[in-house]
Amino acid sequence: MTKGEILIIDDEPQIRKLLQISLESNDYKVIQASTGTEGIHLAANHSPDLIILDLGLPDKAGHEVLKELREWFEKPIIILSVQNEEQDIIKALDNGATDYLAKPFRTGELMARIRSSLRMNQNAECSPVIVSGSLVIDLSTRNVLKNTVLLKLTSTEYNILALLAKNQGKVLTHQYILKEIWGIGAQKETQYLRVFVAQLRKKIEDNPNTPHHIITQSGVGYRFT
C-alpha cells in the first residue's frame, strides 16, 4: 500500500531519478514531468497528493507554473530549486508554495518535509479543531483555549492566529499575512503586523520571549507549529 502519489516537475533527468528512487523506497507512487506544461497536465489528470516543483523549467517560469496550479490545486506543493535567494523564497511562498528546499538537498530532510506537508494537509481536511500542546483552536466556533481556559482575543488577533494555524508548519510571509488580514494596500506595514503578533504571543505563549506556537522566520514571516 502506497503512502500517496507524488508528481515531480523537474527538467533534470538525474534529479528526477534520484527523487524517484528515494520516494519509491519510502512507499510513494511517483509520476514525472520534465516541463511545466506537462506537469500541469499530469496534475489535472492524476490529482497527486503532493507536487515537487523546480523553478527552472525549459518552457515556462516555475513561479508561473506555481500560480497556475494554485488556481485549482489545493494540496501541498514543495519547491525544490537552485534559486535560493530570499526574494525567490518569499515570492514562491506568496504564490502558494507549501515549503521551499534549495538544491543541493538532503533526501532525508526532503522526506521529512514531505511527511510534514502531507500530515498538515490531512489535518486541515479532517478537523476544524487544531491542537498544539495546551492550545486548542476551534475554527468552527472561533474559540481559542489555553489549558482549557477560554482566551479573550480581538477579532484581528484571532484572524491572524487562525490563518497561521490553518497553514500549520508552513512559513507565511509578512506580505501574505498583511494582504489576507488587512487587504492588498497594507502589504508594507510589517511593523503593524509585528505589534499584533507580539500581543497575540502574550496571550497564547507560556513565555512570549521564547515562543513555541508562532515562530519567527527571520526576514520572511511566521510559522505556526
What CATH number has the domain bearing residue 168? Answer: 1.10.10.10
User: How do the residues of the chain divide into helix, strand and coil, expressed in percent and rounded to 5?
Assistant: 45, 20, 35
How many angstroms separate the CA atoms of 131 and 143, rounded? 12
What are the φ and ψ backbone dihedral angles of 39, each rounded to 5 degrees? -65, -45
For residue 191, give Cα distances in angstroms to 29, 91, 139. 44, 20, 27
pLDDT, position 39: 94
Residue that finishes a domain, picked among 124, 146, 180: 124
Pairing relationship of beta strands 77-81 and 50-53 according to DSSP bridges: parallel
Grid coordinates standing for 122?
A: 490531512
CB 51 within 8 A of CB 69: yes
Give the C-alpha separation, 198 to 205, whole Å. 10
Same domain, 112 and 135: no
How many domains in the chain?
A: 2
Look up residue 25 and give its three cell numbers: 523506497
- What sign results for the dihedral spanned by CA atoms 48, 53, 58, 61? positive
> Could you list the pLDDT tens digit for every one of the 225 residues in the chain?
678 999 999 999 999 999 999 999 999 999 999 999 999 999 988 889 999 999 999 999 999 999 889 888 888 999 998 887 888 888 888 888 988 988 888 899 999 999 988 887 776 555 678 888 889 998 878 899 999 999 998 888 999 999 999 888 888 889 888 888 887 777 778 888 999 999 999 999 999 899 999 999 888 899 998
* DSSP labels, 103-131: SS--HHHHHHHHHHHHHHHHHHHH-SEEE
Give the per-residue pLDDT at 120.
75
**The C-alpha cell that represents 56 in the structure block:** 527552472
Residue 118 shares a structural domain with residue 132: no
Residue 117 and residue 150 in one domain: no
**CA 105, CA 12: separation in Å to the nearest integer?**
14
- Same domain, yes or no: 10 and 117: yes
Separation of alpha carbons 225 and 212, rounded Å = 7
**159 and 49 together in one domain:** no
Q: How far is CA 204 from CA 35, 70, 160, 213, in A?
A: 45, 31, 12, 8
How many C-beta neighbours within 10 Å does residue 78 have? 20
Looking at the fold, whether 81 and 134 belong to one and the same domain comes out as no
Which grid coordinates are listed for 173?
510571509
Number of Cβ within a 10 Å radius of residue 83: 18
Phi, psi torsion values for 109, nearest 5 degrees: -65, -40
Grid coordinates representing 151 are 482566551
Domain residues for the domain of 177 are 127-224
Shared domain check, 45 and 19: yes
Q: Are residue 31 and residue 112 in the same domain, yes or no?
A: yes
What's the pTM value of the predicted model, to 2 decimals?
0.62
